[in-house]
Chains A and B, each alone.
Chain A
Amino acid sequence: MASSGNPAKAAIQADGLVRRFGKVTAVDGISFRVEKGEIFGFLGPNGSGKTTVIKMLIGLLPLSAGAAWVEGLDVRVNPEGVRERIGYMSQKFSLYDDLTVAENLQFYGRIYGLPPDRLKRRIDDIIQLNGLAPYLNRLAAHLSGGWKQRLALGCAMLHEPKLLFLDEPTAGIDPVARRQLWDLLFELSGQGITFFVTTHYMDEAERCNHVAYIYYGKLIADGTPEALKQLPDVQPAGTERIEIATPEVTRALRVARKIPGIRSATIFGESIHALVEEHFDLTDLRGKLQSNGIHVTEIRPLTPSLEDVFVELTAKHQSLEETARD
């Protein structure tokens, strides 16, 4: 978990970030490293400090302790330089509603001081990339949520930053627009742009090359989605996960929890996810369920999802904190 290596080569390197607001410690000694070109998913419950970390990294909030380098620049020393090299899209739609799409782009381009010919070229590029051409003369207020986010993303990358911070970019937009925005992120990532994305959607987290999970100011997981699924806390030694597909989930769950060898079980739609001991006899399980009058469609081994990972880690962390308090 510890960050190491040359901070000049990373897109972001954070070493022991701390931020206090009065007596409250909102961010408590966080360290991580984001390599160039990664899509880094930063996850955690509401109010756990995600936005605070972003604001510290882009120089809007001073660090109470620790150090951070963004695009090779020390945030404490040169926040202005950092802001010129990054793009930021906040949680709200930070556009001017009474300006048109073209005017919003013009404004953000000018504020970065792009010379007129380069500004024109960049605006043309972004219009093409984000598909904004049909809406150029429409007021931003009259765009749908998905198009607003595309415009906001366009405004944030006019000055060709190599690193983009997106704070919940897909909150409140429809699934199709969500999918399209992610396709766009992948396309940009292919061009070498690094993304720092916060989200609550696990399917989005699964698409990142690197995820970290923050829980009330502390980083409790950091790695690729695959590596996190192999964590011993998530998949204790001598256990495996299975999925039991059945139309009668609630009754099946009640029965399954009484069967020895099943450590835990939860409902996922039309099936039950269970953590069982190694070499657990699946045919025997099927027989036990059916003898209780439950029709079993299928039983198959299962790799944990990221959601499983975060649920397990959060539960473990909560119990640790409770024992620490007692």
Chain B
Amino acid sequence: MTNLFRGFGAVFYKEVLHVRRDSATFFFSLLIPLLQMVLLGFGIDTNVRQINTIVYNADGRRESRELIDRLKNSDTFHIIRYAENDRDLTDAIVAGKARVGVKVPVDYSDRLLHHMGAQVLVLIDGSDSSVAGQAINVTTAIGLDESLRRVLTSQNQMAVQMRPKILFNPDSRSPNFFLPGLTAILLLNVTTFLTAFAIVREKEKGTLEQLFVTPVRPFGLLLGKILPYFGIGFFELCLILTSMRFIFRVPIHGSVFLLAFLSMPYIFVSLSLGILISSKAGTQSEAMQLAFLTILPSVFFSGYIFPRETMPWFFRAISYLVPASYFINITRGVILRGAGIQHLWTDALALFAMGIILLVVAARRFQNKAIMP
């Protein structure tokens, strides 16, 4: 058994020396994810508020003014100005000055007073789907509420009342939702990216050929190269979690130790992926390109931005192959929902299995010495 990992200690010793000698590089690779986190954490708010809105009130009487006040007070709409005519209204939307245009017709108050159905035109710029969706929801809700108020007399209770209560993240704070997922992406910086260079660098230098003449075995070489970066990746995780908790005040509902423990398989997968890239790539710039290729699926297919449940089946299948999917499930589970190991062990196991597979594939490339020039 020890024979399989032959050379592990020596390679580990050497890689630690490389890291220590080049500490400036590693300092920056630790710092950059933190900077990105600060920028994204402060800059991105996924809640849609204060949509620029233009209003054309052709009626102008009390009922119409009440309706417009309700729009204003919803916090969803910000009225930039009042239009004088229909053209003015559509122009503002085409020019991008307003996302929503509301037209109250001349007969609005009349029709209400005569208990006839009144109509309000809401023009919505569909170029941003989340803004459009929010505008539809809020205007519909206001319309419904207005109607009910007019139909029901003041003594009557509403027949059915929905009382939504948001569990976990009750204020819908963006950082709470955003940062646990971001952790998975930021970790790639100090895992996949660092190990992607680990072998290709030696290939370019010619030292890999020298290593092959020694009795070092593929697993000894790969694990010896991975382990120092495992330490770096874990340290970075602690930095990210600390700043998430104390700078962005994201409460961690579950156990911090469990989170740290379940992060290990993710770090392991990301490192193995980097090593596999490194054994495939012929040059350092090729390795760089391949490493960048891992970022986009981790952002878009992992559920970090778009929920996995709504993806077409094909992309949903892909999402199962993206390690970040499982890790984001783990971070959101522990941090936001206070989930325990009984809820998350399958994700951790999936990650661990992926890591082993990637490592074996990388090792097989060395077994056949296929990378020799």
Contact = CB atoms under 8 A, between A and B. Distances in A.
Given A96-B207, A98-B22, A113 B13 contact: no
Interface string B213-225: 1111000000000
A94 B207 contact: yes
A83 interface: yes
Contact of B209 (A80, A90, A97): A90
B200 to A, nearest CB: 15
Interface stretch (B3-11, B229-237, B331-339, B351-359): B3-11
Interface in B322-373: 369, 372
A41 B22 CA distance: 41
Interface in B148-194: none
B206 A113 contact: no
B225 to A, nearest CB: 13
A108 B214 CA distance: 8
Interface centre among B205, B206, B214, B372 (most CB of A within 10 A): B214
B111 interface: no
B207 A95 contact: yes
Contacts of A93: 206
A99 interface: yes
A5 B174 CA distance: 81
Contacts of B9: 110
Interface residues of B: mostly helix, strand, loop or mixed?
A: helix
B17 A103 contact: yes
A111 B17 contact: no
B310 interface: no
A94 B14 contact: no
Given A60-B212, A80-B215, A111 B22 contact: no
A326 to B, nearest CB: 36
B212 A111 contact: no
A113 B6 contact: yes
Nearest to B224: A111
A95 B207 CA distance: 6
Interface in A72-93: 80, 83-84, 86, 88, 90-93
A96 B14 contact: yes
B115 interface: no
B215 A110 contact: no
B199 to A, nearest CB: 14
A96 B210 CA distance: 11
Interface in A83-129: 83-84, 86, 88, 90-99, 103, 106-108, 110-113
B10 A110 contact: yes
B183 to A, nearest CB: 31
B213 A111 contact: no
B1 to A, nearest CB: 15
Contacts of B211: 111
Given A60-B369, A61-B372, A83-B213, A94 B13 contact: no
Contacts of A98: 17-18, 21-22
Nearest to B215: A84
A136 B369 CA distance: 33
Given A88-B210, A90-B206, A94-B207, A111 B215 contact: yes
Contacts, number: 67
Contacts of B18: 96, 98-99
Contacts of B210: 88, 90, 94
A110 B10 CA distance: 5
Contacts of A107: 10, 13-14, 17
B372 A60 contact: yes
A209 B181 CA distance: 69
A58 interface: yes
Contact of A112 (B17, B207, B214): B214
B332 to A, nearest CB: 40
Contacts of A84: 215
Given A92-B206, A94-B207, A95-B207, A58 B213 contact: yes
Contacts of B209: 60, 90, 94
Given A60-B369, A94-B206, A96-B14, A111 B21 contact: no
B10 to A, nearest CB: 4
Contacts of B14: 96, 99, 103, 107
B205 A83 contact: no
Contacts of A86: 213
Contact of A106 (B13, B22, B206): B13
A111 B11 contact: yes
Nearest to A55: B372
A91 B207 CA distance: 11
Interface in A52-74: 55, 58, 60-61
Nearest to B20: A98
Given A61-B372, A99-B14, A103-B17, A94 B212 contact: no
A94 B205 contact: yes
A94 B212 CA distance: 12
A83 B211 CA distance: 11
Nearest to B372: A60
Interface in B1-37: 6-7, 9-11, 13-14, 17-18, 21-22
Nearest to B220: A111
A107 B215 CA distance: 13
Contact of B213 (A60, A97, A103): A60
A86 B213 CA distance: 9
Interface of B: 6-7, 9-11, 13-14, 17-18, 21-22, 205-207, 209-216, 369, 372
Closest 6 CB pairs of A and B: A110-B10, A94-B210, A92-B206, A111-B10, A88-B213, A98-B21
25 contacts: A61-B372, A83-B213, A83-B215, A84-B215, A90-B209, A90-B210, A95-B207, A96-B14, A96-B18, A98-B21, A98-B22, A99-B17, A99-B21, A107-B10, A107-B13, A107-B17, A110-B10, A111-B7, A111-B10, A111-B211, A111-B216, A112-B214, A112-B215, A113-B6, A113-B215
Interface of A: 55, 58, 60-61, 80, 83-84, 86, 88, 90-99, 103, 106-108, 110-113
Given A88-B210, A94-B209, A99-B21, 10 more contacts: A61-B369, A86-B213, A91-B206, A95-B207, A96-B14, A103-B17, A110-B9, A111-B11, A111-B211, A112-B214
